Each structure stands twice: as structure tokens, then as C-alpha cells.
Amino acid sequence: MNEAEIQQRARVSAALDSDDWTEGEKRVLRWQWGLMGGYWTAFFEAAMRADDGNLDALARAYPGVISALRSWKFGNLGTRFRDADIMD
């Protein structure tokens, strides 16, 4: 791992400890970095394929996570991660 990668991982770790991101946004960040266990990895894989009706159903159980996922898929969460230098 080179110095830039070490620094980026340190920024990701700091973001996961920060109050600047919602818990849902932190879950998306962990998923994108491959830091999730089996359940959450499968959850995100399924949610990424889900239609709006199924996302609405998932949102009843996981409102913050689905809100963040929708922001990742359709909004600006990826841009916000890149602007914070925690995602390429």
C-alpha cells in the first residue's frame, strides 16, 4: 500500500467515526470499501437491484440506510464522498 492509499484509508476511518455523516451514509461508505459482513453485503447487492416498490418496503425497516442508498444511486452522495476525499 502506498502513502496515498494509507492516507485515504485514514480519512475513511475518520469519516466513519465522524458525526458529519449519517449512520446510513456510513453504511454505504463501508459497503463501497468492502468493510461489511455477509448480511450487509447481500443486503446492498439486493437493494441495488430492487425496484422502487421494494426499496420502499426496505425503507420501512431501514429508513436511514435506504435514504443513503437512494442518495448514492440517484443523488449526490458519491460526489460528497469524493469531495471529502474518501472515495475515488
Tens digit of each residue's pLDDT (9 = 90 or more) over 8-62: 889 999 999 999 999 999 999 999 999 999 999 999 999 999 999 999 999 999 9
At 45 the pLDDT is 95
* 1 pLDDT higher than 80: no
Alpha-carbon distance values, 35 to 20, 51, 53, 84 (Å):
19, 25, 28, 18
Q: Is residue 23 a contact partner of residue 36, using CB atoms and an 8 Å limit?
A: no
Query: What pLDDT is recorded for position 44?
Result: 96
pLDDT recorded at residue 88: 83
Q: Where are the alpha helices (DSSP H) in 1-88?
A: 3-17, 23-32, 38-49, 52-61, 63-74, 77-83
Average pLDDT over residues 62-76: 97
User: Model's pTM, two decimal places?
Assistant: 0.90
Gap between the Cα atoms of 58 and 65, Å rounded: 9
Region at 83 (left for phi over 0; alpha for psi -120 to 50; beta for the rest): alpha
